[in-house]
Structure 1
Amino acid sequence: MEYLHVQGLNKPVSRLMKGSDYFFHNVYDKAAANLDAFFAIGGNSIDTAHIYCGGQSEEVIGRYMKERGNREQWIVLTKGAHHDQNGPRVSREAIRSDLKDSLDRLQFDYIDMYALHRDDPAVPAGEVIEALNEHIASGAVRSIGVSNWSWQRIQEANEYAAANGLVGFSFSSPNLSLAKANEPFWTGCVSADEETCAWHEANQIPLFSWSSQARGFFTGRFSPEDRTNEDLVRVFYSEDNWERLERAKQLGERKNVTAIQIALAYVLNQPFPTSALIGAQSLEELRSCDEGSRIILTKEELEWLDLSSDKK
């Protein structure tokens, strides 16, 4: 397992990050077994959120780590300030309330990495930085970041932090995958485009990609004729993405790996620090991700896979 460094943490972060959006109490044994298996291959980072499973995801993680006695061996990323039925909730009070809930559910004294789940461009970035720095100062949070923010907003926030002696955002978590999204998967979501990737390369700020394998698009289970999965059709069905799938298959055959492993390697071979959130729920899926994380792709292969070299 490879690792990366995140500002504010004294432990390395595994470049495969375990997803937990299926961690309900009634599948606790399955979730615990998944975490044991992930930890056994060197994984030490897990992604959760205040809204996942109605709070059960955080509770399951907290129970697991308390039972195993291994809290200090893990890096936990949780997210808050997601919008509700009334709209955006990026405010000092929403952050405080959600963070308290998360700490209570996890049974932790601190969160390793805390991110805002959505943005509200109407709120000045400096106000958000001021609010989050209160929780860094209290010791409740070690490192701060964002999910589904534009690079322009992150830069604005970090410039404010630098000018005012405060801690800025140390990571970002948009979607990044070989399959390019036609539209947001959920309202307010952000996918990393060429400008975003160029900004991450210039600043070397870690990117934690959700839906890093395009929600199964590269498994071979789908075809242009199969339109049963409405969300996948809406977000990822396009002529360019079918061509990217075909190229992933071809390159996989040459390297004796699968197309979905090539898709994972695409995320992990970017010219800036990346971690891929994975939803592996079986030993076979976990093994596939572990093997995919070890694949080396050249710059030329990356550009051929995502069709960017076709435009030169």
Structure 2
Amino acid sequence: MKTIMIPGLAKPVTTLIQGSDYFRPSVYDKVCSVLDRYFAIGGNTIDTAHIYCGGESEVAIGQWMKDRNNREDVVILTKGAHHDQNGPRVNPEAISKDLFESLERLGTDYIDLYALHRDDPSVSVSVIIDALNEHIKAGRINAIGGSNWTVQRLQEANEYAAANGLIGFTFSSPNLSLAKAKEPFWAGCVSADASDCAWHEEHQLPILSWSSQARGFFTGRFTPEDRSNEDLVRVFYSDENWERLRRAEQLAKEKGVSTIQIALAYVLNQPFPTCALIGAQNVEELLSCEEGSNIVLTPEELNWLEHVEKSVR
């Protein structure tokens, strides 16, 4: 499987990252089946978060790593400082609390890739970077990133880090997909647009994209007339995205692959390092993702897939 390197991490990161937002000890057999298959085809990176399944996702992953005795072979991406019912929690105290709880659940003394699950623009980046660097110095975190951070805040944070001899963000995890979001899927979420991608190309900062396949938009299960999935309608239903789907279908036919594989290849063929978070739960889905990750798209094909006139009907 193809890999990228992320500064701060000695291990390579596979371009397909297995998601775990449904992992629980109560379905441990399924967790083992999914992770064993994923690692068998060369994957090595698992995405989780402090809030997933109330922490049970991390517990299940920790049990799997213990049973397989493979912690050093695994890249863990976990996230913390998500807001709660009282509002934003991007502060040193919340970061520390969530990080220590994640370490305990995962049964490890370090996190490979640690991302702040949301941002709070009212908090100075200096406070955030200072706090994260304390954990890096203590060996609890290898690399830091922002999940759903704007490129403006990422740049501000990294400029502060550079000016003060500290370690800045070396990856970002917004949504990036061929289907362009009309509005955030969840409150506080960020989807990378053309200007964001231009910034990532300039700085070569990796994107680890969630919902890289637009939550099934490219599976063929949806049509403009089918409005049963309210979230998909709200976020991805637009004339421009239906045209992108049509073009993806056309290109898939020409290449002898599936449409959703073209959507995945779009994310993984950007002019900067990218990985795609996937939710494969069976062999067929996993092999489809693996095949999609090996498709090469030219800059001209990427441009044709993405750039659709607003007047398209």
Give the TM interval when normalised to the shorter protein: over 0.9
Which residue does 2:2 correspond to in 1? 2
Is residue 2:35 matched to residue 1:11?
Answer: no
Matched, 1:141 2:141: yes
Distance 2:310 2:173 in 1: 28
Q: Give the letter for the 1:220 counterpart.
A: G
**Counterpart residue type for residue 18 of structure 1:** Q
Residue 277 of structure 2 corresponds to 277
Q: In structure 2, how many angstroms separate the alpha carbons of the residues matched to 1:308 and 1:130?
A: 43
Alignment correspondent of 1:258: 258
After TM superposition, list the pairs within 5 Å mapping 1:209-224 onto structure 2: 209-224=209-224
Mapped pair 1:202 → 2:202: yes
Residue by residue over 1:79-105, the C-alpha shift from the partner in whole angstroms, topping out at 9 and shown as x without a partner, is 000000110000000000000100000
For the aligned residues, what is the CA RMSD? 1.1
Report the counterpart of residue 73 of structure 2 in structure 1.
73
Maintained 8 Å contact 1:132/1:144: yes
8 Å CA contact 1:158–1:169 kept in 2: the answer is: yes
- 1:227 positional shift: 0.7
Distance in 2 separating the partners of 1:69 and 1:192: 37
C-alpha contact (below 8 Å) 1:111/1:141 kept by paired residues: yes
Cα deviation code 1:16-39 (max 9, x no counterpart): 000000102221111111101100
- Structure 2 residue 165 is the aligned partner of structure 1 residue 132: no
Give the TM-score normalised by the residue count of structure 2: 0.98
* Partners of 2:241 and 2:309 in 1: CA distance: 15
Is the 1:303–1:309 contact (alpha carbons within 8 Å) kept by the matching residues of 2? no
Task: Quote the residue 1:168 is aligned against.
Answer: 168
User: What do the CA deviations read for 1:57-114 (whole angstroms, capped 9, x no partner)?
Assistant: 0000000000000110010000000000110000000000000100000000100010
Determine whether 1:38 maps to 2:28. no
Q: Distance in 1 between matches of 2:229 and 2:178?
A: 19
Name the counterpart of 2:152: 152
What count of residue pairs does the alignment treat as equivalent? 311
Amino acid at match of 1:112: D
| Distance apart, 1:202 and its partner CA | 0.3
Q: Is the 8 A contact 2:49 2:58 kept in 1?
A: yes
- Contact 1:23-1:53 at 8 Å conserved across structures: yes
Aligned-partner Cα distance in 2 for 1:308–1:80: 36
Deviation at 1:281, TM superposition (A): 0.4
Q: In structure 1, what is the Cα distance between the partners aligned to 2:207 and 2:308? A: 20
Structure 1 unaligned segments of length 5 or more: list them.
none
Q: Structure 2: any 5+ residue segments left out of the alignment?
A: none
Distance in 1, Cα, partners of 2:310 & 2:265? 20
Aligned partner of residue 155 in structure 2, secondary structure? helix
Q: CA 1:309/1:298 → structure 2, altered by over 3 Å: closer, same or farther?
A: farther
One-letter amino acid of the structure 2 residue matched with residue 254 of structure 1: E
For residue 287 of structure 1, what is the amino acid of its counterpart? L
CA-CA distance at 1:308 after TM superposition = 5.3
Whether the aligned pair in 1 keeps the contact of 2:240 and 2:308 (CA below 8 Å) is: no
Q: CA deviation at 1:310?
A: 9.0
Counterpart of 1:185?
Answer: 185
2:279 maps to a residue whose letter is G
1:302 aligned onto 2:278: no
3-state SS of paired residue (2:218): helix
CA shift, 1:309, in A, is: 8.4
Q: Secondary structure at the match of 1:145?
A: strand
Aligned-residue identity in percent: 68
